Amino acid sequence: MGFVGLFCATLLGLVIGLARSSKNAPARLLGTIYIEIFCNIPLIVQLFFWYAVVTQLPNPRNAIQIGHVMLTGRGLHFPGLNVTVLSAVVAIAIMIAALFVILWIAVARRFGRVESARRRLLSLGVLVTGILGAAVALSWGRIPETPLVSLPELRGLNIRGGFQLRPEIYALAFAITVYGAAYIGEIVRGGFKSVGRGQVEAAQALGLSPWRVFSRVRMPLAVRAMLPILINQYVWLIKATTLGIAVGFSDFFMVIAGSITHSGQTLELIGILMAGFLIINFSLAAVLNRVNRAIALKGKQIGVAQ
């Protein structure tokens, strides 16, 4: 969920940063208004606001329905598969691994010598293997004597079947997107500002089209300039996902205090939580730093933003 939030925040932030650094005055103004509003209000206030908005949506009886997707104050319901949790996790893991391998083939220098047609064939093969593997995992974990796809439907006062996404989760993802986009927008603007005028003018003088100037000259240089700051921001946003606790369990404090007096296990739990965060943050920073090194140190030609 944190990664979904990060991804959306990056996209929205890119749009806002571009609006802020464009020549068009109304677009600049819109970007400024957005950033000033969402940067200057604490994330947790925004989170509570979005949470209040999503929980005040209609009750299951008059749910907002688009196709088989239902939106109510109790969550977002959409069609799911009748499989065990374990097999679903395995299937998703296989898909992600396949995507990473494809990315690796596309980016890594080791495959640079292999000609591009064979490389394409190789990635296609990996993709097909991934899909097949995921399908096998799913069919293996299928709950017997139920239809494969379960659709959400109204039964009594509640909605049964399908897959339910709790409101806390998408409220948090939404809040992180909106808030993170404001900060990332500023970072993007800083990145574009740091690209020398001479570079752009030289590219124009060479007769490159505006799109090529943007995608081949301004964007790569801006990405190089903003990546270190962006890494910090990502780490910060990942840490901010803990705020889900604030809305998810409004008196988590009491629960913890109670469970400490009962079992004394919470110290270990908090220890595990902290260790988990250390690992996630350090590895995220390590991966992004590696990317940063790859594009920053050598002054050679670099690929389009990755």
Partner 1 sequence: MTDLSIHAPDPSQRLWRRLRSEYFASPLGSILTLVCVAILGLLIWWVLDWTLFRATFEADARAAECRANGGACWAVIANRWRLIMFGIYPYDEQWRSALACVIVIATVVLSCLPRMWGIIRLAAIWLFAALAFYILMKGGALGLSRVSEEQWGGLALTLFLFVSTVVIGMPLAVMLALMRRSEMPVIARVTGLFIDAIRSLPLLAILFTFAVVLPFVLPAMLTGEKLYRVIVGLAIFFAAYQAEIIRGGLQGTASGQEEAAKALGIPYRYRISRIVLPQAFRLALPATINQIVITFMETSLVVVVGFVELLAAGNAAYNTGEWKFAYVEVYVFISAIYFTFVFGLSRYGAYLERRMNVGRR
Residues that bind partner 1 (CB under 8 A): 22-27, 29-30, 36-37, 40-45, 48-49, 52-53, 56, 235, 239-240, 242-243, 245-246, 251-254, 256-257, 260, 264, 266-267, 270, 273-274, 277-278, 281-282
Q: Which is nearer to partner 1, 114 or 254 (CB)?
A: 254
What's the CA gap between 34 and 121, in Å, rounded? 45
What is the SS3 assignment for 164?
A: strand
Please name every residue paired with 72 in a beta bridge, in sequence order, or none if there are none.
75
190: its two tokens: 């800083």
260 or 291: whose CB is closer to partner 1?
260
Nearer to partner 1, 24 or 204 (CB): 24
Distance between CA atoms of residues 241 and 4, nearest Å: 11
How, if at all, do strands 80-81 and 149-150 pair?
A: antiparallel
> What order do you get walking across the sheet with 163-165 strand by strand?
64-66, 69-72, 75-78, 163-165
**For 181, what's the count of Cα atoms within 13 Å in the CB-facing half-sphere?**
26
Could you identify the residue written with the tokens 């959400």?
152
Q: For the CB of residue 66, give the shortest distance to partner 1 in the complex, in Å.
A: 24
Nearest CB to partner 1, comparing residues 86 and 274: 274
What is the number of other CB atoms lying within 10 angstroms of the CB of residue 112? 9
In the complex, minimum distance from the CB of residue 231 to partner 1, in angstroms, rounded to a whole number: 13
Residue placing its CB nearer to partner 1 in the complex, 64 or 270: 270
**Judged by CB, which is closer to partner 1: 91, or 182?**
182
Tokens of 170: 């998408």
b/e sequence 119-134, b meaning 16+ C-beta within 10 Å: beeebeebeeebeebb
Min separation Cβ 27 and partner 1, Å: 5
Determine the Cα–Cα distance for residues 130 and 90; give it in Å rounded to an integer: 11
Cα 222 from Cα 210, distance rounded (Å) = 16
In the complex, the smallest distance separating the C-beta of residue 242 from partner 1, rounded to whole angstroms, is 4
Nearest to partner 1 of 106, 254 (CB atom): 254
| Minimum distance, C-beta of residue 75 to partner 1, in the bound complex (Å) | 19
Residues with Cβ within 8 Å of residue 100, at least 6 apart in sequence: none
Closest distance of CB 188 from partner 1, Å: 18
- Return the closest-CA partner of residue 236 out of 43, 50, 34, 16: 43
Question: Smallest distance from the beta carbon of 5 to partner 1, in angstroms?
Answer: 15
Q: Which is nearer to partner 1, 41 or 132 (CB)?
A: 41
Q: Specify the 3-state DSSP secondary structure of 303.
A: coil
CB of 41 to partner 1, least distance (A): 5
